[in-house]
Amino acid sequence: MDSDRDQRDAEDVEAPGLRSDTGRAIGFSDAVFAIIITLLVLDLRTPEVPPGGLLHALLTRWPVYLAYVTSYLYVAVNWLNHKGTFHRIRCTDRGLHWANLGVLFSVALLPFVTAVVSQAVEAGDRFDEGVAVALYGLVGVVLSAAWLWLYHYLSRHGDLLQRHVTPRFFAVERLRALLGIMAYAAAGLVGWLVSVPAALVVLLLLPLFYGLSSNGFYDLRRRLRHR
């Protein structure tokens, strides 16, 4: 343990210009998440209807509300994952910054794809609905792949982690990212080939799973044991 600590301190001294604390990365990331949440709300517009038609107009826009709830949960879960991840990071380097930017790039696609899904389902064309849901699944795949990149980088650079965290933690967390790649790909294919409603249910349930496991598989197992 002492040798690992000495090695980390030596590496920090050798490359002082290449490493920094996590403050700027966390602050920038939180700002990006806040902007993304705000952009999601912009699709919730007040319907323009004649007197007496408000209730019907609100009910017919249910796809917009479902897409908003799904994506809001997804963004919230990604923020929780990000918070739990950087809680275990001691310092950052250039490679970690790029991996983090990859995650933020992917999350920033959610307002666009959310609007595409809500408009397609609201219009009611089966082909467009399939395309929109498949696109949402593709964004989920890209986002999961970005987390896989981040987890893999941290599993290979234990010197960036807090002293009580081992690289094995993030090596295991890669399984969550791989599961996300497969699950979102499956949801997109189901929406494209089989059933749009079934795919929407899967897309809604996936953020719930990742919310429960946002602090890692270990925390998920602990939660299940105490139920």
Q: For residue 58, what pLDDT is reported?
A: 80
Residue 13 pLDDT > 50: no
Average pLDDT over the chain, rounded to an integer: 85
- Name the pTM for this structure: 0.84
How would residue 3 be classed by pLDDT, with cut points 50, 70 and 90?
very low
Beta-carbon-side half-sphere exposure of residue 205 (alpha carbons within 13 Å): 8
Contact present, 138 and 188 (Cβ < 8 Å): yes
The structural domains of the chain, with segments of one domain joined by +, span 22-44+54-222
Contact present, 88 and 162 (Cβ < 8 Å): yes
Q: For residue 214, what pLDDT is reported?
A: 65
d(CA 164, CA 171): 15
How would residue 35 be classed by pLDDT, with cut points 50, 70 and 90?
very high
The angle at the Cα of 14, spanning 8 to 19, to the nearest 5 degrees, equals: 70
Q: For residue 15, what pLDDT is reported?
A: 52
Mean pLDDT of 57-67: 82
pLDDT digits (tens, 9 = 90+) for 138-160: 999 999 999 999 999 999 999 99
Residue 217 pLDDT > 70: no
Of the listed ranges 20-24, 43-47, 169-173, the least confidently predicted one is 43-47
Mean pLDDT of 8-26: 67
d(CA 182, CA 174): 13
d(CA 204, CA 187): 10
pLDDT digits (tens, 9 = 90+) for 92-132: 999 999 999 999 999 999 999 999 998 888 888 889 999 99
